[in-house]
Each structure stands twice: as structure tokens, then as C-alpha cells.
Amino acid sequence: MAETASIAAALDELARGQGPVETYSHSTDDVLANRRAARRAKRGISLNVIPMIDVTFFLLVFFVCANKTLDREELLRTDLSQRGVAMVNPTALTLDEPPLRIELFRKDNHTMIKVLAPMAQPESFEQLTEVFNSKRYSPENPNGLFPSDHPLELAPAKEVPWEDAVAAFNGLVRAGYQQIHFAEPQ
Amino acid sequence: MRSMLTRGPAKIEAVITPLIDIAMLLVVFFALVSQIGIADFVKLNLPKPSPTAAVPARNESRIVINAIANQDGNVTSWRFSGEDFDVNPTGLQSLSKAVTAAIRANPAAQVHLRADANVKYTYISPVLDQVGKAAATAIPGHVVKLRLAVQPEHRGG
């Protein structure tokens, strides 16, 4: 009974934050319990980093997911100045020069290129870039036929895959031309 | 028994870690399933011109039109702002009206056209028409900036 009373007194002291009471340690368990209690009492303010890690990882996941799709894309610039306005207001489509037409069509499961002008006919999109680049007028190329703002009309056939239409468009942009628009399918 | 009585009042403290976990899970969930994400960026096999003249997408306001196609390159519907439009004339008219409203609300927005690499041009051309009409109808004389979405060269696939 006396032992119980002494333990209770020790715990009271611990509860008041008075530290370990060694004099009541009659067994190893009591000693260890008292030391643990003392450590808890002395601990004070501590930094719990687990929530911070949780939040950090969730933010990481969020931003990775949010940016994944956007990072995957690039954009080819074009506009609908000829085609779109022409549909509504034909008078707005008064071109100074007729557009040079480039047709794409399918043959033997391949997309072929046909330029409606007396010039070398490209056999690939790479050649399309080279041919049109060589025909582009600039101070460095005074023998060029077309200025960079000369309108080009890209006219893919109905069955031409979008990939090839975009490849042709991309080739003309790379050749330095600025006014390229898609025409109605042939 | 006495020790239990002399333990003192129990400490009441809020455990906020589960709250933070749940809150962040909800944020991630809604970000992933939100209409904006779904409507604007349908998973597509975009064309991949090489070498490319394309420029990386910036954080500019945009109106995104997606072509939902099957493996044969036939478009089954057009998706704009989370809504699917049929590929028939009625669907295209509805798409045009929706795009007109979007351009009127945000005239500076670019129109991004996203279509699978194998989509046939016969499906693309009417949409180009409708976008042009929509821009001119929304704001007379307005020329919309059309952007063709492509894959960057340096990515695999």
C-alpha cells in the first residue's frame, strides 16, 4: 500500500512537470517508465515534419499532373485571314496576287505533292521546303520568285491524313513563307 | 486507481495531418477530373512534323477544339469546352455557335486545333470554315489566330 502511494506521489510530481523521481524506482519497469515520462515532460516544442512531407508530395503530384499535357504540345501558327473572312465578306478577300496552290493527294497509300506552278515538283516534304526556300525572294536571293508574304494555298485531298497536311504546312513555314492557308479539299 | 485520478485533464489537440491529406487529395482529384482539363486536352496522337517550325505553347488564353477520331481516321465527334458535337452539318453549326460565343467572350483567345495524325483532311476542312465564320460573326472583321497542335520533336512516340 505504501508502495502504491509513493508511485502515485511520483506521478503527481511528473504531472506537475517536476522531472523524474528516482527515489521511487523500486523496479526496472518503474525506472524506465519514470524516465520516459520525464523525457516527455522535458520535450517541449518539437517540429513534426511528416505533414510537411505529405503536403510537399501532394503538391508535387499535382503540378506534375497539371503540366504533363501542356508540356507535350507545340503549336504551328496560322490564321484564317483568307479563308475565314472570305466566307462572310468576299470583298475582304482581295488579294494583290493570286495564291500559289500546292496540292496534296494520295497515290499508292502515299501522299504526293503537286505545285501548280512551272517549277520543280518536290517529292517529299523536305524537298518542298528546299524548293520553296530557293524560290523565296530576299536580298540574299534576288533571283527568288516569291516574297515571303506571297499567299500560298495548301489544298490537301479529302483522304490525306492530317499528319501530312501539317507536314506540308510545316515545310512551307520553314521555307520562310508567312501567308499560308488551307483550302477546300479537292 | 489513484494514479488514474491524478493524471489530470486530458489534452485536446487537433490532428491536422489527415485533414491536410484529404484536402490535397481533393485538390488533385478535382484538378484531374475538372472540365477544363478534360475539355481542353483530350489524349490524342498529334502530328509530329520533323524538323518542326512549331513553337512551344505559352500560357495564353485559348479556345481548344479536339477531333475525336477512330483508328481509321474518321472523326466521330468534335469536342469543345467539354461538349461533344456531331460531325454532321447540324453538329458543325452548333460547334460554330459555341465557338462564336467563346470568341465574343474572349476576342484575344487563340483557337487551338487538336486532331489525330491519321484524321482525314475531309473532316478538318469544314471545321476550319466554321472557325473562320465564327470569328467573323462574333466580331466583324476579326481574324482569329489559329494554332495547330503538334507533338514536339524531342519526344518519343
Percent of chain B whose predicted confidence (pLDDT) is above 70: 85
CA distance B69 to B83: 15
Quick: pLDDT tens for B67-125: 999 988 899 999 998 889 999 999 999 999 999 999 999 988 889 999 999 999 999 99
State the CB neighbour count (10 A cutoff) for residue A172.
22
Residue closest to A7 by CA, chosen among B132, B14, B2: B2
The residue of chain B nearest to residue A70, with distances taken between CA atoms, is B57
Give the C-alpha separation, A134 to B148, whole Å: 26
The reply to whether residue B148 touches residue A76, judged by beta carbons under 8 angstroms, is yes
Q: Are the beta carbons of A70 and B73 separated by less than 8 Å?
A: no
**Per-residue pLDDT tens digits of chain A, which is 186 residues long:** 556 666 767 667 666 655 555 555 457 778 888 887 777 666 666 777 777 777 777 777 777 676 655 556 888 887 655 554 333 333 344 456 788 999 999 999 999 999 998 888 999 999 999 999 999 998 888 988 888 888 889 999 999 999 999 999 999 999 999 888 888 887
Start-end of H helices in chain A = 2-15, 28-43, 50-71, 83-88, 125-135, 162-174
Q: Could you tell me if B99 and B130 are in contact, meaning their C-beta atoms sit under 8 angstroms apart?
A: yes
Q: Which residues in chain B are closer than 8 Å to A74, comparing Cβ atoms? A: 52, 54-57, 149-152
Residue A54: what pLDDT? 79
Helix axis angle for A162-174 and B121-138, nearest 10°, is 60
Q: Which of B20, B28, B120 sits opposite A158 (nearest CB)?
A: B120
**What CA–CA distance (Å, rounded) separates B15 from B100?**
51
3-state secondary structure of A64: helix
Of the candidates A8, A65, A185, which has its C-beta nearest B125's C-beta?
A185
Which residue's entry shows cell 500559289? A100
Q: In chain B, what are the domains?
A: 37-148 (3.30.420.270)
Decide if B155 contacts A70 (C-beta within 8 A): no
Please indicate whether, in this complex, the C-beta atoms of A15 and B25 are within 8 angstroms of each other: no
Cell of B151: 507533338
Q: Is B78 on the interface with A (CB under 8 A)?
A: no
Q: Mapping DSSP to helix (H, G, I), strand (E, B) and coil, where does residue B126 land?
A: helix
Q: How confident is the model at residue B67, as a pLDDT?
A: 92
Answer yes or no: do B73 and A76 touch at CB < 8 A: no
- Tell me, what's the pLDDT at A57? 77
- Cβ–Cβ of A162/B119 closer than 8 Å? yes
| Chain B partners within 8 Å of A166 (Cβ) | 47, 49, 117, 148, 150
A77: chain B residues, CB-CB within 8 Å: 55, 145, 147
Looking at the DSSP bridge assignments, the partners of residue B149 are A75
Distance from CA of B117 to the nearest CA of A (A): 4
Residue of chain B minimizing CA distance to A5: B2
Q: Which of A58, A72, A163 faces B47 most closely, judged by CB atoms?
A: A163
d(CA A83, CA A90): 10
Residues in chain A within 8 Å Cβ distance of B112: 75
Q: Which residue has the higher pLDDT, B48 or A64?
A: B48
Q: Contact A166/B57, CB-based, under 8 Å?
A: no
Distance between CA atoms of residues A23 and A113, nearest Å: 99
Contacts of B138 in chain A (CB under 8 A): none
Q: Which residue has the higher pLDDT, A99 or B25?
A: A99
pLDDT at A160: 95
Q: Is a pLDDT exceeding 80 seen at residue B8?
A: no
Partners of residue B55 in chain A, C-beta under 8 Å:
74-75, 77
Q: Is B62 helix (H, G, I), strand (E, B) or coil?
A: strand
State how far residue A145 is from chain B, nearest Cα, in angstroms. 22
Which of the 8 DSSP states describes residue A161? B
Domains in chain A, start-ordered, CATH in brackets?
Answer: 2-43 (no CATH), 83-182 (3.30.420.270)
B52-63 per-position pLDDT tens digit? 888 887 777 888
A58–B147 CB contact, under 8 Å: no
**What does the mean pLDDT of chain B come to?**
82
Q: Which residues on chain A are in Cβ contact (under 8 Å) with B118?
A: 161-163
Q: How far apart are CA B146 and CA B132, in angstroms?
A: 9
- Confirm or reject contact between B122 and chain A (CB < 8 A): yes
Say if residue B34's pLDDT is above 70: no
ipTM of the complex: 0.75
